[in-house]
Amino acid sequence: MKILVLNCGSSSIKFQFFDMDGEKVLAKGLVEKIGLNGSCLKLEKKSGEKVVFEGEILDHKVGIEYVLGVLTSKKHGCISNLNDIKAVGHRVVHGGERFNESVVIDSEVIAQMEKCIDLAPLHNPPNLKGIEAISELIPDMTQVAVFDTAFHQTMPKHAYMYGIPSSLYKKYGIRRYGFHGTSHRYVSQRACDILGIECKKSKIITCHLGNGASVAAIKNGQSVDTSMGFTPLEGLLMGTRSGDLDVGVVTYLMEKEKLGSETASTLFNKHSGLLGVTGISSDFRDIGEKAAEGNELAQIALEMYAYRVKKYIGSYTAAMNGCDVLVFTGGIGENADHARKDICEDLNWLGFEVDEQKNDGLRAEEAIISSDGAKVKIMVIPTNEELMIARDTQLLMGD
């Protein structure tokens, strides 16, 4: 069964095309700068060959036409016609409280997703555009929505409620939802597969450390807490997001700097985090280089970064009364050995011990990096959200 996975952002579409027989990637790529100058489709073929198609890609529908065009192209494609695509799986950011698992998309699902736009005004609309475009271009195609929030719907009330008047939860749905659910789900299940343990009997902490970053506590296969909240702003220090912050800082700055809500949102979402602290870059590699050159703010940012992750690991160990497995994933988690070492330093009392020989230089490959005999298995597992979306889609097709 061949499945197309789409991740539609505001000006981009990431795609991967799978043959689920063997879970092989037949093609993948990115449509970028939709509606802007320089829009193009970048294709990576199964052979590894890369091809760029430039063109005027005015909207998501045209972008998806390009994707379908390259998949069926005689020269660069991997299928002879669109009938070879059995289903399309979409990454959808916010499913609110309505969706606690992936679903086949119908008009009722679309209506519910539209209701969630308020909760994710930047993310859900492009996701919906992708779904609409496929309905128009391949009318009878089965489409599946896989929500970033769904995995965390198992969080208990005491973990997801904020300490504000509960009437605001009822009125606006203000609560913690959590994000990156597909990634946390994938790496926690993969960890169990590799270790040969049962997810249903394990306590796992997963650290998705990318440009956006979150930690999740997964007990007996269910998410019981996660660091992102009502929006992806809560929790860890990120590339450009502040993470946890006293709300008093927000109201103080709004007053002192005469900030409107949009400017305040931009300040904490786009100009904070590693970028804001250092004034250098949001990219972890740049910060690492500057820190090595002796830049004090870059050094502080790295310390803040590791300290926050460490605090979440400690608190989630407490929340689950223990931890069997700690997993690092995301661009930073998979690649930055120094960050993994700093995060786990002085957590040995809780049973987290990194073996430096196993950790040093390890990039983007599955491995166990804890010391032999340590209480907690520490692992690096490259995430694969697209594969998880393809698997959910296949499952919902009844295959």
The tokens describing 13, both together, are: 């579409």
**148 a catalytic residue:** yes
Q: Cα(313)–Cα(292) distance, rounded to whole angstroms?
A: 26
Of 95 and 239, which CB lies nearer to ligand AMP in the complex structure?
Answer: 239
Pairing of strands 142-147, 103-104: antiparallel
Least distance to ligand AMP from the beta carbon of 363, Å? 6
C-alpha closest to that of 94 among 54, 163, 148, 130: 148
Q: By CB under 6 A, is residue 332 in contact with ligand AMP?
A: yes
Cβ pair 237, 243 in contact under 8 A: yes
Q: By CB under 6 A, is residue 239 in contact with ligand AMP?
A: yes
Q: Cα(269)–Cα(123) distance, rounded to whole angstroms?
A: 14
What are the phi and psi torsion angles at 341 (to 5°)?
Answer: -65, -45
Burial classification of residue 52, based on how many CB atoms lie within 10 Å of its CB (0-12 exposed, 13-18 middle, 19 or more buried): exposed
Contacts with ligand AMP: how many residues (CB under 6 A)?
13
Of 19 and 283, which CB lies nearer to ligand AMP in the complex structure?
Answer: 283
Of 241 and 391, which CB lies nearer to ligand AMP in the complex structure?
Answer: 241
Helix axes 337-344, 296-319, angle to 10 degrees: 60
DSSP E strands, 121-182: 142-147
Least distance to ligand AMP from the beta carbon of 92, Å? 19
User: Residues 68, 336, 379, 380: which binds ligand AMP (CB under 6 A)?
Assistant: 336
The tokens describing 243, both together, are: 């993470």
Q: By CB under 6 A, is residue 128 in contact with ligand AMP?
A: no
Binding segment for ligand AMP (CB under 6 A), chosen from 79-87, 297-305, 329-337, 349-357, is 329-337
Q: Cα(122)–Cα(124) distance, rounded to whole angstroms?
A: 6
Q: Which residue is nearest to ligand AMP (CB)?
A: 331
Q: Cα(256)–Cα(240) distance, rounded to whole angstroms?
A: 22
The tokens describing 135, both together, are: 């309905």
Residues 6+ apart with CB under 8 A from 350: 313, 314, 317, 323, 375, 376
Of 356 and 399, which CB lies nearer to ligand AMP in the complex structure?
Answer: 356
User: Residues 335, 359, 370, 394: which binds ligand AMP (CB under 6 A)?
Assistant: 335
DSSP-based three-state secondary structure for 180:
coil
- Residues 250-309 contacting ligand AMP, CB under 6 A: 283-285, 288
Binding segment for ligand AMP (CB under 6 A), chosen from 40-48, 62-70, 143-151, 330-338, is 330-338
Least distance to ligand AMP from the beta carbon of 269, Å? 15
The tokens describing 25, both together, are: 């990637």
Of 77 and 276, which CB lies nearer to ligand AMP in the complex structure?
Answer: 276
Q: By CB under 6 A, is residue 240 in contact with ligand AMP?
A: no
User: Residues 330, 353, 379, 390: which binds ligand AMP (CB under 6 A)?
Assistant: 330
What are the phi and psi torsion angles at 146 (to 5°)?
Answer: -120, 115
Task: Tell me the C-alpha to C-alpha distance, in Å, between residue 253 and each of 184, 239, 247.
Answer: 34, 21, 10
Q: Cα(292)–Cα(295) distance, rounded to whole angstroms?
A: 7
Phi-psi region of 273 (alpha: psi -120 to 50; beta: other; left: phi over 0): left
- Residues 362-381 contacting ligand AMP, CB under 6 A: 363
Cβ pair 100, 150 in contact under 8 A: yes
Kindly provide the b/e burial profile for residues 146-170, where b requires at least 16 CB atoms within 10 angstroms of the residue's own CB: bbbbbbbbbbeeebbeeeeeeeeee
Of 235 and 239, which CB lies nearer to ligand AMP in the complex structure?
Answer: 239
Binding segment for ligand AMP (CB under 6 A), chosen from 49-57, 163-171, 197-205, 328-336, is 328-336
Binding mask 345-364 for ligand AMP (x = CB under 6 A): ------------------x-
**Count, residues in the chain:** 399
The catalytically annotated residue of 148, 225, 324, 392 is: 148
Binding mask 182-221 for ligand AMP (x = CB under 6 A): ----------------------------xx----------
Of 105 and 209, which CB lies nearer to ligand AMP in the complex structure?
Answer: 209
Q: By CB under 6 A, is residue 179 in contact with ligand AMP?
A: no
Of 245 and 292, which CB lies nearer to ligand AMP in the complex structure?
Answer: 292
Least distance to ligand AMP from the beta carbon of 154, Å? 24
Q: Which residues are annotated as catalytic?
A: 148
Contact positions toward ligand AMP, by CB under 6 A?
210-211, 239, 283-285, 288, 330-332, 335-336, 363
